[in-house]
């Protein structure tokens, strides 16, 4: 996948991105929202292997660039029934809350609906992540449920998640 919108690019992650991904995933500040406040503790080799298993029809790791510089990552996973699960992480804190997340999500979701034949996008987020919830709802995502105390983070603390879904007609493309 290669998507471009003015100064933003979404492209497939390659093994050349393994070092960058590794440094983001091992950073507890970046990974806290996903339940890993101490970071993943992953090796570059392990990231290379993960990336090697990517393919367009099942799952794909994507790099987000602003002005040609990697600032974060997205991914999508084919869940069957023309449904894709997606995730997004802007890892460079200085690039958060500048409207980029909203634009990247519109780019990827538009492509999954219009080019890749998906009819529904699903995702979940931590109940405490009100910023992500605001962005998802602005794009048209519908909350379909909350799973209270459904998992524990790396420190053993119970966490709750909100599940969202979005069909093609619901996407706010404006």
Which one, of 22, 50, 23, 25, lies nearest residue 36 by Cα? 25
User: CB of 45: closest distance to ligand COA in angstroms?
Assistant: 25
- Which is closer to ligand COA, CB of 33 or CB of 59? 33
- Which is closer to ligand COA, CB of 84 or CB of 135? 135
- Which is closer to ligand COA, CB of 52 or CB of 147? 147
User: CB of 54: closest distance to ligand COA in angstroms?
Assistant: 20
Which residue in this structure is represented by tokens 């996973």? 77
Under the rule (CB under 6 A), what is the footprint of ligand COA? Answer: 33, 72, 88-90, 96-102, 125, 129-132, 134-135, 138
> CB neighbours of 166 closer than 8 A, spacing ≥ 6?
109, 120, 121, 122, 136, 139, 140, 141, 142
> CB neighbours of 95 closer than 8 A, spacing ≥ 6?
66, 71, 72
User: CB of 74: closest distance to ligand COA in angstroms?
Assistant: 9
- Let me know how long the chain is: 174
- Which is closer to ligand COA, CB of 48 or CB of 127? 127
């Amino acid at each position: 996948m290669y998507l471009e919108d003015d100064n933003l690019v979404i492209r497939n992650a390659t093994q050349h991105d393994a070092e960058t991904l590794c440094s983001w995933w091992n950073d507890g500040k970046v990974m806290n929202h996903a339940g890993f406040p101490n970071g993943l503790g992953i090796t570059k080799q392990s990231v290379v292997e993960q990336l090697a298993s990517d393919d367009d029809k099942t799952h794909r790791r994507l790099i987000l660039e602003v002005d040609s510089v990697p600032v974060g990552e997205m991914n999508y996973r084919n869940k069957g029934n023309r449904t894709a699960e997606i995730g997004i992480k802007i890892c460079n804190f200085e690039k958060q809350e500048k409207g980029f997340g909203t634009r990247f999500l519109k780019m990827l979701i538009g492509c999954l609906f219009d080019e890749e034949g998906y009819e529904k996008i699903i995702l979940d987020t931590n109940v405490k992540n009100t910023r992500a919830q605001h962005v998802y709802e602005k794009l048209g995502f519908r909350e379909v449920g909350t799973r209270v105390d459904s998992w524990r983070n790396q420190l053993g603390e119970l966490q709750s998640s909100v599940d969202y879904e979005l069909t093609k007609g619901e996407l706010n493309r404006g």
